[in-house]
Structure formats: C-alpha cells, structure tokens
Amino acid sequence: MTRRAVAIGVGHYLPERVVPNAEFEKTLDTTDEWIKSRSGIERRHFAAPQETTSDLATHAANAALKMAGIAANDIDAIIVATSTADLTFPSAATMVQHAIGNTKGYAFDIQAVCAGFVFALSNANALIASGQADRVLVIGAETFSRIMDWTDRGTCVLFGDGAGAVILEAQDGTGTTQDRGILATDLNSDGSYRDLLYVDGGVSKQSTGVLRMEGQEVFRHAVEKLAQTAHTALDKVGLGADDVNWVVPHQANIRIIKSTARKLGVGMDRVIVTVQDHGNTSAASIPLALSVGVQSGKIKKGDIVVTEAIGGGLAWGAVVLRW
Ligand code: UT7
C-alpha cells in the first residue's frame, strides 16, 4: 500500500477591485493592445488598502474547506506559499491557522516566488507520504501590487493579487499511476540567476523594495525550463503527453503557456488559462487556475493534471497528480 496525497477540496479568492489594462494608459506610456498582445493579460485584481495576503489566503482556505466538507480542526498542517506575507513574522500560515479556527497542527510559509505553490505541493506530499500529516491545507497567496514600481511599464502591468487553496488528504493507493493523488514532483533552482528577477529590498536591507525583472531573459528561461521540468516529472512515473488531461501552468504570459504546451505535445484545449483575468499572481496563480478549472467543470475526478511554474531564484518545478 502507498500513502497518497489526494486533493479533496479546492477554492480561491480574488479581491473585489478589477483593474483593466486601459487604466494603465492614464499614467504610463502603454496600451491595452500592447499588454494583451505581449502577455495575454486583459485585467487583474488588486487588494484593497487594508486587505493583506493572509486575508486573501483565509478566504481561499475557507472555500476549500467548504468544498472538502471538513472542519478547520481536521487539518494537521497549513502551508502558505507567498513572497508577500503580511509581516516579516509570524508566518502568513499561522495567521490563516488562527483565522480559520485551527487550534492544532502546525503552520509555516514557503518562499519560492512564482514556483512557490509547486514547492509547497511537493513538501505537503512529503509530509503526507512520511506520515507527518494526514491532511494538509496548501495555499498560494500574494499581494504583488504592494511590490510594484508603478513607473516601470515593463513590470507593473503584469502582476495581480489573489489566493488559491487545495486540501490534500492521505489515502491508500496501490503505488501505480491509477491512484488518485500526487504521483510525481520535480523541483529545481539555480541561484546564479538572481539578478533576472528580484525585489530590490528586504528585511536585512531595511526596506520593502520593488520588483525588478529582465523580462526577455526570464521569458527565455521559462520557455526552456518549463517543458523540461514537466517532462521530467511525467517521466518519473512513465506517463507521456497523451496521458495528460489538463496542464495547469503558472499564469505569467500566454506566449509562455502556448510555447510550453507545444513543447509538451499538449493541445491548448487541454490547458487551463486564466492569465487574461488574473494577470501574474505569482504563487497564487496555479491554485487559482486549478480552482477555476474545477469550478468550470473542466477538471474532473480521475484526470491527470500537470502543474508547472518558474519564478525568481530562478526556481522552477512541476507536479503530476491524478485529481
Ligand atoms: O512569473 C515569473 C516569471 N515571469 C515571466 O515569466 C515573465 C517573462 N517575460 C515576459 O512575459 C515578457 O518578456 C514581457 C511581457 C515582460 C515583455 O514582453 P517582450 O515581448 O519580451 O517585450 P520586451 O521586453 O522585449 O520589450 C519590447 C518593447 C521594448 O521597447 P523597445 O526597446 O523595443 O523600443 C519595451 O520598452 O516593448 C516595450 N515595452 C512596452 N511598451 C508598451 C515594455 N513594456 C511595455 C508596456 N507598454 N507596458
């Protein structure tokens, strides 16, 4: 018997304020047409001034608990993937723990920027496989609007705020790819690329800082590394492109999403795309897309789902699961 980490609930939350591309035309030398054609983004949500990352995460967590039909205290561990936690400490995850009314178990944050949710899923899988938890709430939540340079048209038009959550539960499997749950993961990072995508401030620098990106270079790495990591994860369990029902990619740029799908040999009719509505929400983008994919009836129980993401670090990876 193999302990599998099976998804039993998913949910998301987007802040009320929707910002269409046209709004940037008022303050920047940009156009709706440029943003749409270069990135696929049409609008994004921005958190209200008093709304924090843990607030967004809590809404998403409650939605996932509702779908799973379980209580907050049925959760053993809470992991929040974020680069924009409310405070330097405590973790956003402990804030969510308190807000949802979980009084047992343990909570902590993971920081792997846009790849954060993939890293969090992989760690949650390890906790479940090793018997350290039976149910793990895995959240991706961000308020990237707080780290934008509003004068930099090359970055500030691309990002948005939001949160998504998935609940994983230990279930017995047979050890084959017929099992539901996480089947394979592949994680990577290379710190030599730190100058391609970073925030130019932080606690130790005594500032908050704003996001800086060499867009073209990150694009190049994304196109090369995303298909590679997805292939590696699929290979680990002997699955191929034809076995994949849905690719749920990090939503940074429609051109990256299309090119990765092409390299993977998966048609765009099997890719969940939300970038037009959410922009790039970093660690929140995959659970947001998963939640939208499930809610819309596309992703069904038993489907093979591949998630892949890349972000600052660079850090990148993929997870293969049977939904
Ligand atoms: O989530 C983490 C991973 N992040 C990513 O995956 C992002 C990866 N990068 C990208 O998605 C793309 O590189 C961008 C969307 C950021 C940029 O698209 P691009 O096709 O690579 O454009 P570019 O940076 O080569 O810029 C082309 C032109 C430049 O003008 P010149 O030098 O050709 O005169 C830019 O100054 O477009 C200009 N430009 C803009 N023009 C209008 C850059 N931003 C804008 C803008 N509006 N907002």
Domains parsed from the chain with CATH numbers: 2-173 (3.40.47.10), 181-322 (3.40.47.10)
Q: 38 CA distance to ligand 1 centroid (A)?
A: 7
Q: Are 36 and 277 in contact (CB under 8 A)?
A: no
Residue appearing with tokens 């802040």: 15
Catalytic entry in 12, 102, 114, 123: 114
Question: What would the mean pLDDT of 146-172 be, rounded to a whole number?
Answer: 98
Q: 221 an active-site residue?
A: no
Predicted pLDDT of residue 27 = 96
Rounded to the nearest integer, the mean pLDDT of the chain is: 98
Q: 114 an active-site residue?
A: yes
Peptide bond preceding 90 in cis form (omega within 30 of 0): yes
Question: What would the mean pLDDT of 188-213 be, rounded to a whole number?
Answer: 97
**Tens of pLDDT, residues 242-255:** 999 999 999 999 99
- Cα three-residue angle 281-274-71, rounded to 5 degrees: 70
Question: What would the mean pLDDT of 70-91 be, rounded to a whole number?
Answer: 98
Evaluate: CB of 91 within 6 angstroms of ligand 1. Answer: no
**Tens of pLDDT, residues 19-32:** 999 999 999 999 99
**Tens of pLDDT, residues 51-78:** 999 999 999 999 999 999 999 999 999 9
Find, among 170, 144, 168, 172, the residue nearest to 158 by Cα.
144
Evaluate: CB of 313 within 6 angstroms of ligand 1. Answer: no
Q: Where do the H-state alpha helices sit in the chain?
A: 22-25, 32-39, 53-68, 92-100, 116-129, 215-236, 254-264, 275-278, 285-295
Q: 280 an active-site residue?
A: yes
Evaluate: CB of 196 within 6 angstroms of ligand 1. Answer: no
Q: Is the pLDDT of residue 10 over 90?
A: yes
Q: Is the pLDDT of residue 164 over 90?
A: yes
The letter for the amino acid at 218 is V
Find, among 242, 245, 249, 258, the residue nearest to 305 by Cα.
245
How far lies 228's CA from each of 152, 177, 194, 216, 240, in Å?
31, 20, 20, 19, 13
Pairing of strands 161-173, 2-13: antiparallel
CA distance linking residue 308 with residue 158, whole number of Å: 19
Q: Is the pLDDT of residue 1 over 90?
A: no
Residue 153: pLDDT band with limits 50, 70, 90? very high
Q: 176 CA distance to ligand 1 centroid (A)?
A: 43
Q: Is the pLDDT of residue 276 over 90?
A: yes
Predicted pLDDT of residue 301 = 97
Q: 60 CA distance to ligand 1 centroid (A)?
A: 31
The letter for the amino acid at 312 is G
Print burial letters for 78-89: b (CB count within 10 Å at least 16), e (below 16).
Answer: bbbbbbbbbeee
DSSP 147-201: G--TT-TTTTTTB-EEEEEEEEEEEEE-SSTTSSEEEEEEEEE-GGGGGGEEES-
Evaluate: CB of 30 within 6 angstroms of ligand 1. Answer: yes
